[in-house]
Structure 1
Amino acid sequence: MVKFVLMGAGGNVGGAAADFAVDLVKPEDQLVFASSNLDNVSAEKLAHWRSKGVEVVSASYDDLDSMRKAFEGADAVATISTWLIGDRRRNQIKNALDLAKEMGVKRFCYTSGAGAGVKAETEEDIPFLLRDHHYIEQLSFASGLQYNIQRNCLYAELSVR
C-alpha cells in the first residue's frame, strides 16, 4: 500500500488534481486530500471523494500540527502552491517540505510555474512572479527526497473547472 497526500485539494487546481487522482489510484493505495478550509469544497465533491475511499482532512500550510497529522505514514506528499507572494508562501511550502522529510516521506511534489527553472546569478534575474517557485524548486532539489515539479503556465488554472 502507498499513501499519497494532496495538500490544497479545496482549491481550483488542487480540486482538479484530486478528481484526477481518484480515477488513477490503485485499490490498495490510500489517498488523503487536505484543505485549509473544507467549507470551500462542495458537499457533492466531498461525498464523491469519500465514496472512493479518500480520507479528507483539514490541514493548512500555516499549521504544522495539522500537516503532521495529514502526513503521518505518507509515502508521497503533493503541494499546490498558494496565491501568496513572498516570504509567507516560501515558508509555507518550506515547512511542508521540511516536515515531509522529517516524517520519512519519500517523494515531494510541487506545483511551480513555467520559467521557474531559469538559470540565474541573482534572484533579480528571475521574473518576479516566479521567484518564489524558483526558491522552492531549489529547496526541493537539495532536500534529498525524490521530487516532482509541475511547472504550470501562468493562469492555466483559470481554465480548470
Structure 2
Amino acid sequence: MTILVTGASGKLGPLVIDALLARGASPDDLVAGARTPSDADALAQRGIRVVRFDYADPDSLRPALEGVDALLLVSGTEFGARVAQHGNVIAAAAEAGVGKLVYTSAPHADTTPLVLAADHRATEEAIAASDVPAVILRNNWYSENYLGDLAIAADTGRVFAAVGDGRVASAPRADYAEAAAVVLLEDGHVGETYELAGDHPWTFDELAAAIAEVLGRDVEYARLTVDERIAALQEAGLDEGTAGFVAALDAGIRDGALADADGTLARLIGRPTTPLVETLRQAA
C-alpha cells in the first residue's frame, strides 16, 4: 500500500512519517508531499520519495497521487485560501481513485463556535460531497502551542490569558501523528470522525504549575479580561485583527470549546497520551 503524507516539510507531516515507519511501514511505500521538495531533504535521505505537492497548484497534485492508496491531508495554513486549496486536493484524490483520505480537522468542527473552525467545517463538507472514502481526525490543541507561554513565563513569572477557568485537552503533535499513522495503516476507520484529545483537560492554573515545575521558579496565571488581553497583545506588537483573533480563541476556551476528552486518542494509539508537563520539559 502506498501512503502519501502531505505537509512533509512542516511540523506534523514528518512526525506522521516517523510513526508510520515505527509501525512497520516500508520507506518504499511512503511518499512525502511538500510545496518545496528541497525542504524535505531529510526525508529523502531516509529513503522516502519526496514529491512536489502544492495545494494551490492542481497540476502538482495529479502526478503526485498516481498509484497512491491512502492520503493524509494535513490542513493548510493560508487562512482565507485554504478551503479552495483543500478542495483542489480533494478533487485530485477523487480523480486518482485514492482509497482512503485522512483529514486533520478541528475539534467539533461542525458545531464549535471557535473562530478558526469554519474552514475545517467547509473542508469536511467538501470531502463528504466528493464521495472519496475518508476519515476525519478532529485534533484538539497541540501542547506545543504553549511553548510561547513557557518563554514568557521564564521572563515574567506569569502566564497571561483571558480564558477564565476554561480547560484545554491538549496533546503533543507526536501523539496526533501516531493516531494518523494508525488510521492510515489499518483496515477500517473509513467513514469515522474521531474527536482526538489529550487524556487530561487542564486549566491555565495547571499550565502555570506545569511551567513552574519545568522552570524551577514560581509562575502564576494572570487572569485578564478580553479587553485587557487585546490591549496586551497590541502592546506586544500584534495588529488589531490578530489580537482580536487570539482573544476570540481565549473566549472559546473559556466557554469550553477545547475541554472535551473521551479517550479516543489514547485508544487509537494504544497508550495514555503524553502529559502537558512532559512536552514542556522536552522543549525546554
TM-score, normalization: structure 2?
A: 0.48
Q: Deviations over 1:97-155 (max 9, x none)?
A: 0111011112111111112132xxxxxx7422010001111121232121111111234
Match of 2:106? 113
Given the alignment of the two structures, is residue 148 of structure 1 paired with residue 142 of structure 2, yes or no? Answer: no
Aligned residues: CA RMSD: 2.2
Q: Classify 1:146/1:47 alpha carbon distance in 2 versus 1 (closer, same or farther; 3 Å).
A: same
3-state secondary structure, aligned to 2:5: strand
For the 8 Å contact 1:90–1:132, the answer to whether it is kept is: yes
Match of 1:21? 20
3-state secondary structure, aligned to 2:12: helix
The amino acid of 1:23's aligned partner reads: A
For the 8 Å contact 2:21–2:27, the answer to whether it is kept is: no
The amino acid of 1:7's aligned partner reads: T
Match of 2:57? 63
Match of 2:94? 101
1 CA distance for matches of 2:106 and 2:135?
13
2 CA distance for matches of 1:82 and 1:56?
18
What's the % identity of the aligned pairs? 30
For the 8 Å contact 2:3–2:70, the answer to whether it is kept is: yes
Shift of 1:5: 1.0
The amino acid of 1:113's aligned partner reads: A
Shift of 1:26: 4.0
Q: Deviations over 1:7-31 (max 9, x none)?
A: 1111001111121122234449721
Higher relative contact order by CA 8 Å / sep ≥ 6: 1 or 2? 1
The amino acid of 2:44's aligned partner reads: L
For the 8 Å contact 2:102–2:134, the answer to whether it is kept is: yes
Match of 1:134? 121
For the 8 Å contact 2:6–2:53, the answer to whether it is kept is: yes
Greater strand fraction, Structure 1 or Structure 2? 1
Match of 2:36? 37
Please say which of residues 148-157 and 90-99 is displaced more in the overlay: 148-157
2 CA distance for matches of 1:45 and 1:145?
28
For the 8 Å contact 2:103–2:136, the answer to whether it is kept is: yes
For the 8 Å contact 1:12–1:157, the answer to whether it is kept is: no
> Could you list the runs of 5+ residues in structure 1 that have no partner in the other structure?
119-124
Match of 2:67? 73
Please say which of residues 32-41 and 65-74 is displaced more in the overlay: 32-41
Shift of 1:44: 4.0
Shift of 1:46: 3.2
Q: Classify 1:156/1:14 alpha carbon distance in 2 versus 1 (closer, same or farther; 3 Å).
A: farther
> Could you list the runs of 5+ residues in structure 2 that have no partner in the other structure?
146-171, 175-284
CA radius of gyration, larger in: 2
3-state secondary structure, aligned to 1:78: strand
Q: Deviations over 1:43-75 (max 9, x none)?
A: 444312x1xxx2111221111121111100111
3-state secondary structure, aligned to 1:12: coil
How many residues align? The count is 148
1 CA distance for matches of 2:24 and 2:93?
21
TM-score, normalization: structure 1?
A: 0.80
